[in-house]
């Protein structure tokens, strides 16, 4: 009796046939995601593609981005170019510290986009050159500069760039953490793509996780005031929306209602989704899901001291001024220094944060319960 091929074998045969005839001109979105899915689970195929790939880079958890341009983007290099340039500094990368991010068109084909994260050795103690000097020189050699991941997320204008960075950081951190099976403690075999890991003993497969977070802009019934908060330890003068992790057994709207009660001590009358979300990789992977809520201004605000320094109602004009200040100083270089100024609204989060998009829409009159413009 002939053997019937398993579903995975059939899938692989179909996928190989599909992509052997596809070109970058006619490859549509469905074909692209199927190719990515194929690469995720087929280690040998992705390994063969690695020398053809393009890569973005982190060194010591700092991201290589474009320099001297207002639009911050990750710098991409071909495998060969990056190998040569890093080799001049005694640095190496391979599949063990790389993760699959995307598929890019190239001639009549598609090639993988990887993120690779490496660590640089510290110079000797008696060296006249500091590590920061070395990284600055390395960044210049690579056609960019190294920056903090959080600041990169906040200042990148393109959503695709922010999402790829969130994926890069999330998969890198997850792959470094998941080494043992939580069920039986045996070793895990990590996929080349870093999209999953299988236990070598019990065969259970684990996937990268993320936590849902509600982020809510609170307005008054007239829609002329917004309640913004300042988190403990955050940059002085920067106010944002209320946010918090969802608990098991609650919807995102219930999460938003609870977080508002916990953090600022008030009840809201209405909550509505804004149909906006953003992956956010710090400190761990989360998915920010946006809402708007209405609350009466006569309620006494009682902030949770473990989470917040202050929470205040602001007029639309006050928030507009903070928005304009943020747009003119997206790197937040003019942050207030005095204690009093730190508790005064000067900035909102930069444009890369979902809180910025929410607040900006409200300032522009595009969030309005009464006229159903949400």
Chain segment 293-328, per-residue pLDDT in tens? 999 999 999 999 999 999 999 999 999 999 999 999
Q: How far apart are CA 240 and CA 288, in angstroms?
A: 13
The answer on 256 and 142 residing in a single domain is: no
Query: What pLDDT score does 8 carry?
Result: 46
The answer on 142 and 14 residing in a single domain is: yes
Phi first, then psi: give them for residue 183, nearest 5 degrees. -85, -50
DSSP 242: E
The answer on 361 and 215 residing in a single domain is: yes
Q: What is the CATH number of the domain that holds 243?
A: 3.90.79.10
DSSP 366: -
Residue 188, helix vs strand vs coil? strand
Q: Look at residue 196 and tell me if it is in a domain.
A: no
Looking at 128, 147, 166, the residue that finishes a domain is 147
DSSP 24: T
The answer on 143 and 239 residing in a single domain is: no
Residue 211, helix vs strand vs coil? strand
- State the angle between helix axes of 354-363 and 316-328 in degrees (0 to 180), rounded to the nearest 10: 130
Looking at 147, 179, 203, the residue that finishes a domain is 147
Query: What pLDDT score does 250 carry?
Result: 97
Q: Look at residue 242 and tell me if it is in a domain.
A: yes
The answer on 215 and 132 residing in a single domain is: no
Phi first, then psi: give them for residue 333, nearest 5 degrees. -80, -15
Q: Looking at the whole model, is its pTM more than 0.85?
A: yes
What proportion of the chain, given as a percentage, has pLDDT over 90? 78
The answer on 345 and 218 residing in a single domain is: yes
- Domain of 276, in residue numbers: 211-366
Q: What's the pLDDT tens digit per position in 214-243?
A: 999 999 999 999 999 999 988 889 999 999
Of the candidates 167, 161, 267, the one whose C-alpha atom is nearest the C-alpha of residue 216 is 267
CA 192 to chain centre: 21
Query: What pLDDT score does 13 carry?
Result: 46
The answer on 358 and 217 residing in a single domain is: yes
Q: How far apart are CA 334 and CA 339, in angstroms?
A: 15
Q: How far apart are CA 149 and CA 165, in angstroms?
A: 8
- State the angle between helix axes of 7-21 and 29-41 in degrees (0 to 180), rounded to the nearest 10: 130
pLDDT category of residue 82 using cuts at 50, 70 and 90: very high
Token code pair at residue 180: 């043992």
pLDDT category of residue 7 using cuts at 50, 70 and 90: very low
Q: Is there a contact between 72 and 156 (Cβ–Cβ < 8 Å)?
A: yes
Query: What pLDDT score does 371 carry?
Result: 59
pLDDT category of residue 131 using cuts at 50, 70 and 90: confident
Q: Look at residue 156 and tell me if it is in a domain.
A: no
Q: How far apart are CA 287 and CA 289, in angstroms?
A: 6
Whether the per-residue pLDDT at 196 is higher than 90: the answer is: yes
For the chain, how many structural domains are there in total? 2
Q: Look at residue 187 and tell me if it is in a domain.
A: no
DSSP 97: G
Q: Look at residue 31 and tell me if it is in a domain.
A: yes
Looking at 95, 127, 147, the residue that finishes a domain is 147
Q: Is there a contact between 95 and 190 (Cβ–Cβ < 8 Å)?
A: no
Query: What pLDDT score does 372 carry?
Result: 53
């Amino acid at each position: 009796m002939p053997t019937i091929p398993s579903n995975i074998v059939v899938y692989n045969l179909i996928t190989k046939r599909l992509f052997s005839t596809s070109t970058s001109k006619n490859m549509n979105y469905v074909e692209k995601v199927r190719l990515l899915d194929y690469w995720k689970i087929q280690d040998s195929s992705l390994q063969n593609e690695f020398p053809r790939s393009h890569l973005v880079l982190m060194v010591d958890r700092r991201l290589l981005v474009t320099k001297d341009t207002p639009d911050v983007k990750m710098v991409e290099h071909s495998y060969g170019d990056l190998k040569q340039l890093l080799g001049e500094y005694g640095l190496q990368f391979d599949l063990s510290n790389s993760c699959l991010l995307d598929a890019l068109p190239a001639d009549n084909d598609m090639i993988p986009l990887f993120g690779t994260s490496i660590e640089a050795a510290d110079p000797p103690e008696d060296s006249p050159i500091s590590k920061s000097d070395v990284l600055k020189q390395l960044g210049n050699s690579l056609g960019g500069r190294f920056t903090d991941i959080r600041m990169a997320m906040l200042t990148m204008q393109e959503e695709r760039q922010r999402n790829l960075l969130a994926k890069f950081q999330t998969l890198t951190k997850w792959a470094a953490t998941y080494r043992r099976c939580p069920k039986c403690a045996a070793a895990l075999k990590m996929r080349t793509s870093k999209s999953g890991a299988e236990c070598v003993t019990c065969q259970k497969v684990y996937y990268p996780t993320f936590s849902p977070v509600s982020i809510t802009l609170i307005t008054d019934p007239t829609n002329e005031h917004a309640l913004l908060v300042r988190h403990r330890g955050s940059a002085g003068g920067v106010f944002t929306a209320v946010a918090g992790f969802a608990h098991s057994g609650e919807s995102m709207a219930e999460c938003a209602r609870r977080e508002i009660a916990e953090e600022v001590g008030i009840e809201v009358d209405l909550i509505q989704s804004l149909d906006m979300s953003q992956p956010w990789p710090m400190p761990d992977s989360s998915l920010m899901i946006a809402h708007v809520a209405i609350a009466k201004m006569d309620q006494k605000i009682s902030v949770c001291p473990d989470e917040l320094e202050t929470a205040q109602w602001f007029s639309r004009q006050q928030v507009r001024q903070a928005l304009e200040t943020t747009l003119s100083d997206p790197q937040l270089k003019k942050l207030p220094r005095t204690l009093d100024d730190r508790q005064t609204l000067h900035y909102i989060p930069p444009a890369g944060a979902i809180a910025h998009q929410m607040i900006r829409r409200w300032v522009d009159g595009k969030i309005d319960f009464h006229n159903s413009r949400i």
